[in-house]
Amino acid sequence: MKLKNTLGIAIGSIVAVTSFGVLAQGQGAVEGELFYKKQYNDSVNHVEDGFNPGASIGYFLTDDLSLNATYDKTNHTRSNDGTGNQKIKGDNFGLNAQYHFGSVGDALRPYVSGGVAHKSMTNVIADGHSGRDQSTFLTAGAGVKYYFTDNLFARAGVEADYKLDNGKWDYAPTIGLGVNFGGSGGKVAPAPAPVPAPAPEPAPEAPVAEVVRVELDVKFDFDKSVVKPNSYADIKNLADFMKQYPQTTTVVEGHTDSVGPDAYNQKLSERRANAVKQVLVNQYGVGANRVQSVGYGESRPVADNATEAGRAINRRVEASVEAQAK
């Protein structure tokens, strides 16, 4: 009855512990288990088979490999075959490694195990004798764990014990109930995110060059190609601009009104354009190779040739120069 009460309390404690958020399988986990096994005592004469309760505690070195310390107690067996049917008690301490197959989080995880154990049993020789039989065993086992949750599991397996002093084997089918807590859950800690390099300073924008422009509009009298004195200041202004920006060139364009034959007006427009060019070159020193003159006759009016005022506007020479300011 005491054993039933003890197991009931232990199982209740295991279930309660599974409510804590720190529980986890995998590397770093601690595994606790209560188990019960059928012990076949073939290596010792005159000892019946028994049932041994026990417990183990283990630590997962990796997600798959655990190192476990175990203890079980012999207190449900007797001597036989003329030895007085005495109660036999004993203690069994062990250390083993378990290797689990599958992956962390699988419901079923088969395992194999191997290790060493030391057993001590009383009253195993003869009637009335209270001596103690002590032996060291090599252990090997296999089984499977079933995880009800990520952390609560049941285990079923079998263990074989090889007695070093007489070369005999004992066997023990086992069932158990246990919990895991404190592990990584099979997750690898993420590598720290690299610190981003500071963004490079934007290169200063190149200043946008300002475009400067000079325009020339010289008016002429009817049927004349002589530059009037009041236009010289405008021509000089254009010449000074071209000297300031020696890479510039210009086209001087001559025009007429619509009075007169087309051929005559074409020649007149060319003479007007050339007259302005000569002022630029000869009087104000602009290189002749930088000035081109062309006549368009009456083909490009900018005002109404039906009126005198419009015709006066059309009798003209135009030029323009533009450059990027320094």
Distances (CA, A) of 239 to 69, 235, 236, 295: 106, 6, 5, 20
pLDDT of residue 18: 43
Superfamily holding 211-324: OmpA-like domain (3.30.1330.60)
Task: Calculate the alpha carbon distances from 102 to 32, 109, 185 in Å.
Answer: 20, 6, 14
Report how far apart, in Å, the C-alpha atoms of 56 and of each of 6, 23, 35, 260 are: 16, 17, 8, 125
Domain ranges of the chain: 2-181, 211-324
> What percent of the chain is predicted at pLDDT more than 70?
81
CA distance 305 to 9: 120
CA distance 11 to 148: 14
Compute the average pLDDT of residues 99-117: 90
pLDDT digits (tens, 9 = 90+) for 144-203: 999 898 788 999 999 988 888 778 888 889 999 998 887 776 665 566 778 888 888 877
| Location of structure tokens 């109404």 | 304
Query: Six-digit token pair at 94?
Result: 């062990």
- Sign of the torsion angle spanned by Cα atoms 216, 219, 223, 227: negative
DSSP characters over 100-141: E-S-TT-SEEEEEEEEEEEEEEES-SSTT---EEEEEEEEEE
CB-CB neighbours of 278 under 10 Å: 15
Can you give the pLDDT at residue 82?
55
**Where does the pLDDT of residue 310 fall: very low under 50, low under 70, confident under 90, or very high at 90 and above?**
very high
More confident residue, 199 or 314: 314
Q: What is the pLDDT of residues 252-283, one digit of tens each?
A: 999 999 999 999 999 999 999 999 999 999 99
Read off the pLDDT of residues 36-79 as tens digits, 9 standing for 90 and up: 888 887 766 666 777 889 999 999 999 889 999 999 988 767 66
Fold exhibited by the domain 2-181: Porin (2.40.160)
Q: What does the alpha-carbon distance between residue 162 and residue 164 come to, in Å, rounded to a whole number?
A: 6
CA pair distance 243, 161, nearest whole angstrom = 112
**Residue 74 contacts residue 44 (beta carbons within 8 Å):** no
Strand partners, 118: 93, 136
Q: Return the percentage of the chain with pLDDT > 90, whole number.
A: 48
174: which strand partners? 37, 157
Q: Distance between CA 269 and CA 264 in Å, rounded? A: 9
84 band by pLDDT with thresholds 50, 70 and 90: low
Residue 21 has pLDDT above 50, yes or no: no
